[in-house]
Amino acid sequence: MHALEVRNLKKTYKNGVVALKGIDLTVEEGDFFALLGPNGAGKSTLIGIISSLVNASSGETRVFGISVQNDRSRAMAEIGLVPQEVNFNQFEKPFDIIVNQAGYYGVPRRIARTRAEKYLRQLQLWDKAFKPSRTLSGGMKRRLLIARAMVHEPRLLILDEPTAGVDIEIRRSMWAFIEGINRDGTTVILTTHYLEEAENLCRNIAIIDSGQIVENTTVKALLGKLDIETFVLDLSAPIEKAPQVEGMWIEMRDSTTMLASLPKSRNLNALFKMLEDEDIEVKSMRNKVNRLEELFLRLVEKQAEQSA
Amino acid sequence: MSNPVSASSYWIGYKTIVIKEVMRILRIWAQTLLPPAITMTLYFVIFGQLIGARIGEMGGMDYMQFIVPGLIMLSVITNSYGNITSSFFGAKFGRHVEELLVSPLPPILILAGYVTGAVFRALVVGVLVFIVAAFFSDFSIHSWPVTLSIVVLTAIVFALAGFINATFAQKFDDISIIPTFVLQPMTYLGGVFFSVDLLPGIWETIAMANPILYMVNGFRYGMLGVSDVPVSAAFGIILVFVAVLGTVCVTLLKRGTGLRT
């Protein structure tokens, strides 16, 4: 079954801005789906329509086969939303925020309290459960949004840039939590600016730009399109200038970190030969993780050229 | 498994809004319950005891007795309206109204939850003013059913009106304009302190067009058994307002006016 089905979805705001130009999108049940796009591409509008915060101009949205436009209440019961911006009452306590949210979804208070404790503990917020939520740090507030979205145990969890501005340690603990939720069967849709996040977590991906889907495929297939690979080399001793090798692009991130990009058709022997000739010793080497970033930029640039 | 949406889940949702509202009102009692009690005590002292003693009788009774129902209604109206505008606009301003908008709760239950909260505050304040009044005047209730139904229905009317105000409001100034420039003058001129019989010709006719006059007099009839207007007219006007304002509120919520993009 499709967890989400969007057909010919259009949105034009009152000020004339066309946010969505007829989007078609399908997300399968159990998927971990990434929705990427530059600022102003239409991601938040799309999420707003799915979660009924924004009224569509035309088109249809179905969540597990239930129409958001025609059967809003049943459709909303299936969705948990983690918005981009903090939108809970900052004068309330995290525990109360979560218990109340559960109530809005019809979860009895006794069960709501148990679940509130469960999710606050899982997201390392239990020690803050009864403190005013305005005293939480930025990362804690983001985790509270996730706990709130999970309390009615939705089948579809939508996260709109959940890790924006969160430090790497907390980001990783959030990833682990969301991965666990997905493993347990919840379909996850994630928008993010950290392309590394999408590459590491998601199976399928759609790239949206200027209100249109410009790519919709598996992360693996998308990465397969990348014909240039970049390696990060950590050097034993600092060097002043990046050496040059024909058919490769070499640059220095800093004096001991070298970035070498080369087409997949070329082997690495030429690179290592050059390093040996130049007497450069390599301590370690790895793939640059955010390969998706290159693809993303390429797709968005291509779209911009076509629009022009 | 699919999340069920049923009458019992809706009931839990409605109850949650009510509990949240009641807890908010009780938590900030110094802002919500105490000020009207103090203000009304001053009214009773100044208008009732000091000035009222010189006025003598009004509508065939002691002036202090005459103003008690009006002052209770004044508190009920301003607190019902004020509660819903501050609470709902606050939720809109802080964006936590989105917690409700993305939930399965139908618009009518969101409205009912907020209205119940406003009526709760209006009634608690009404009871406090009633207790204060009992220190200044002797009175017995003429008709409990009329008194209670008029006060509850009036609180509902002004909760609905406040909800509409909060829906359209963009900034905090927008929720103080109507109470200051419309509601307060209408209430003061709505027979709280005087009988319309005292007004000369055209002013009496103008006063009769003020719906608050009917609410105050309907309540006065319930408490004291005297009224400038037929009680049936008071009930009729209040019920029409409940129906019209209620329909407007539900329509606005369904459309998402001022709430959804």
Chain A / chain B CB contacts < 8 angstroms: 93
Judged against a pLDDT cut of 80, whether residue A209 lies above it is answered with yes
- In this complex, which of B8, B19, B102 lies closest to A51 when CB atoms are compared? B102
Return d(Cα A125, Cα A283) in angstroms, integer: 40
- In this complex, which of B8, B94, B106 lies closest to A89 when CB atoms are compared? B94
Flag whether residue A74 sits within 8 Å of chain B, measured between CB atoms. Answer: yes
- In this complex, which of B2, B95, B101 lies closest to A78 when CB atoms are compared? B2
Flag whether residue A53 sits within 8 Å of chain B, measured between CB atoms. Answer: yes
For residue A188, what pLDDT is reported?
Answer: 95
Q: List, edge to edge, every strand of the sheet that includes A18-28.
A: A18-28, A2-12, A58-63, A66-67
Return d(Cα B122, Cα B195) in angstroms, integer: 24
CA dihedral A267, A271, A273, A275 (to 10 degrees): -160
Give B190's DSSP letter: I
CA distance A206 to chain B (A): 24
B96/A88 CB distance under 8 A = yes
Q: What percent of chain A has pLDDT over 70?
A: 92
For residue B2, what pLDDT is reported?
Answer: 56
CA distance A100 to chain B (A): 6
For residue A291, what pLDDT is reported?
Answer: 59
For residue B150, what pLDDT is reported?
Answer: 95
pLDDT band at A80 (very low <50, low <70, confident <90, very high): very high
Residues of chain B contacting residue A148, judged by C-beta atoms under 8 Å apart: 99
Structural domains present in chain A: 2-224 (3.40.50.300), 228-293 (3.30.70.1560)
Q: Is A180 exposed, middle or buried (0-12, 13-18, 19+ CB in 10 A)?
A: exposed
For residue A292, what pLDDT is reported?
Answer: 63
Average pLDDT over residues A10-35: 92
B99/A148 CB distance under 8 A = yes
Note the helical H segments in chain A: 43-50, 72-76, 94-104, 109-122, 138-150, 168-183, 195-201, 219-224, 269-277, 291-307
Judged against a pLDDT cut of 70, whether residue A297 lies above it is answered with no
- In this complex, which of B3, B94, B101 lies closest to A105 when CB atoms are compared? B3
- In this complex, which of B12, B95, B256 lies closest to A103 when CB atoms are compared? B12
Return d(Cα B58, Cα B51) in angstroms, integer: 13
Average pLDDT over residues A285-293: 69
Minimum Cα–Cα distance from A158: chain B residue:
B102
Highest mean pLDDT among A168-182, A214-228, A258-272, B84-98 belongs to B84-98
For chain B, the structural domain boundaries read 23-255
Asked whether the beta carbons of A118 and A149 are under 8 A apart, the reply is no
Pairing between β-strand A282-287 and β-strand A228-235 as defined by DSSP bridges: antiparallel
Residues of chain B contacting residue A79, judged by C-beta atoms under 8 Å apart: 102
* Mean pLDDT for chain A overall: 87
Return d(Cα A156, Cα A31) in angstroms, integer: 10
Render each residue's pLDDT in chain B as its tens digit; 261 residues.
556 678 889 999 999 999 999 999 999 999 889 998 898 888 888 877 778 777 777 777 888 888 889 999 999 999 999 999 999 999 999 899 999 999 999 999 999 999 999 999 999 999 999 998 888 888 788 999 999 999 999 999 999 999 999 999 988 888 888 888 888 888 888 888 888 878 887 888 888 889 999 999 999 999 988 888 899 999 999 999 999 999 999 999 988 887 777
pTM of the model: 0.83
Residues of chain A contacting residue B16, judged by C-beta atoms under 8 Å apart: 100, 103-104
pLDDT band at A163 (very low <50, low <70, confident <90, very high): confident
Q: Which residue has the higher pLDDT, A169 or A8?
A: A8
Minimum Cα–Cα distance from A89: chain B residue:
B96
Residues of chain B contacting residue A154, judged by C-beta atoms under 8 Å apart: 3
B99/A53 CB distance under 8 A = no
For residue A303, what pLDDT is reported?
Answer: 66
Q: What percent of chain A has pLDDT over 90?
A: 49
Pairing between β-strand A228-235 and β-strand B61-62 as defined by DSSP bridges: unpaired
Residues of chain A contacting residue B25, judged by C-beta atoms under 8 Å apart: none
Minimum Cα–Cα distance from B113: chain A residue:
A104
A53/B15 CB distance under 8 A = no
CA distance A102 to chain B (A): 8
